Structure 1
């Protein structure tokens, strides 16, 4: 496959683990490994993060991010850039913030064995759903 045939969005769709880059207050990048879900129809990448973590604070201050995916061959990569919206944390296990995290889980892993427990944990852990709307995507298959 040549670089002109490479579709970065296909790698994003097929790869769950990625590196999320946010911008620290001093302007340097802050990198975090994350589990992501790609919605091709909406061209949006979703990540569950926790309130109080560096990446969440960075995104509340500057809602721009970059996320990088590496293929299993270690020579194929894709990077997506875009503006981020954050949903949550929710205080109600049956509220819309937690509903969004349920949908994220379903896309990532299918059905949970105990949705009531999952919803309680999302509230207790103060989980936030990050949505990165892809504005620019690029990548390459180097070998």
Structure 2
């Protein structure tokens, strides 16, 4: 029987890189956390974590006011978790489907999911939906595995 990783083998960055569902914590104006479910993409080679979000939502407004965030992911069995913290930058929303703001979202999609079947449609949707790309420079990662 093959055993899972031991606590000493646990790498929270590997869990962060493998996860496509997490909870993003931003800071509300009153100082309390605001939590949002998101679909993150973490690139361990660059130390950057990306999330696509919509302009006008609470998390976007919070990050424009205070550009710090934390993101928590959990393993499918719930026995491991990892948290990334760091400063963020927001790009977008773009108004030109061929503009740099939308290109940043295209680059994010390619890295996270591969090729899209219709890039023109994707670009138009990013503009229409007022999508914004959050990029976190991961300053700290921590977590635990209950092995």
> Normalising by structure 2, what TM-score?
0.94
Work out whether 1:111 is the aligned partner of 2:115.
yes
- Partner deviation per Cα, 1:60-88 (whole Å, 9 max, x = no partner): 00000000000011010000000000011
Query: 3-state SS of the aligned residue for 2:62?
Result: helix
Q: How far did 1:109 drift?
A: 1.6
Please identify runs of 4+ aligned residues in structure 1 that moved more than 6 A. none
**Aligned residue number for residue 3 of structure 1:** 7
Query: 3-state SS of the aligned residue for 1:26?
Result: coil
> Normalising by structure 1, what TM-score?
0.97
Q: How far did 1:3 drift?
A: 2.6
Work out whether 1:13 is the aligned partner of 2:17.
yes
The CA RMSD measured in Å over matched residues stands at 0.8
- Partner deviation per Cα, 1:59-118 (whole Å, 9 max, x = no partner): 000000000000011010000000000011111100111001001111222111110010
> How many residue pairs were aligned?
143
Following the alignment from structure 1 to structure 2, what is the Cα–Cα distance between the partners of residues 36 and 98? 18
Following the alignment from structure 1 to structure 2, what is the Cα–Cα distance between the partners of residues 126 and 64? 21
Work out whether 1:129 is the aligned partner of 2:133.
yes
Unpaired runs of at least 5, structure 1: none
